Structure 1
Amino acid sequence: MTALVSELVTVLEQESELIKELVEILQADQKRIIKQDIEGLEDSNRFKEGRVLRFQALEGSRLTLTQRVGEALGLGSDEMRVSSICARLGPEAKALEQSAEKLRALVGSLNELVAVGRGFLEQSILGIRGLLCLIQSLRTPEPQTYDASGRFEPAASPDAMAVRREV
């Protein structure tokens, strides 16, 4: 049992190191985006792909080890979690709990960076759409109206027609 728990702690620590690397890479990517370093971003993406594949392999190992330790402790299939295992372990629980907590904190940091990146991309897309609408409005002499967000509302299609039915 001790060997399995030690192996699980090792896998959790390896996952934590990979997540920490990904967090650092995403922080550097934000700077690369601001500097418009396209080559650096491409290199970063290739590096991240390798790290994600390694993380997936470790995640499979973690799930297998968690199941084996859980079965050894007599846990049901719905209780195969590190928190449930720690509740049943003796002194071995401390190292396992610390490793799991560190991983949770790093995953939280990673999620925050991903959310910031997503927001940045969404704002960039909105800016590009606004510029495209402005360019389109300059190319067509048709009158334009604004929508609720203050952007130009797209003009009706030239093929559109209004039908009026009279009785």
Structure 2
Amino acid sequence: MRVLVVEDERRLAAAVKRGLEASGFAVDVACDGVTGLHMAREGGYDGVVLDIMLPGLSGYKVCAQLRAEENWVPVLILSAKDGEYDQADGLDLGADDYLTKPFSYVVLAARLRALLRRGARPRPAVLVAGDLHLDPAARTVRRADADIELTAREFALLE
């Protein structure tokens, strides 16, 4: 599954990227709201992890703009803003979930998987293109009669 992380703190963005990749996600990073909005619009992501306090365009505005454009990509806000009104605002603007910093990578990955299960587009159990067969459930790839070994990132990109 392809995920976009929009986070301006570069060290945290890199850590989130590593943590999600270790859980099998293919991850791209944007470090400001304008770039994040553009990538979310154009990138065909399965989900977006979005900070609120971003340069250029706030996470609130990024989320609201995506929803105004009827872009229903699942959005999980990951923010240091932990007040109940901050969380309510994010959810009311269209976010699907809200997790506060500091956070557990185990919980972040689990909540993201839950969002992606709910927002998954219908597709066949095994994806086929010519003689290439990809089974997302078993996480296997075959071309003709040969098994192909892929890293988690390669598998996610191919999927």
State TM-score, norm by structure 2.
0.21
Compare relative contact order (CA 8 Å, sep 6+) and give the higher one, 1 or 2: 1
Larger Cα-atom Rg? 1
The structure that is strand-richer by fraction is: 2
Q: Which has the higher helix share?
A: 1
TM value normalised by structure 1 = 0.20
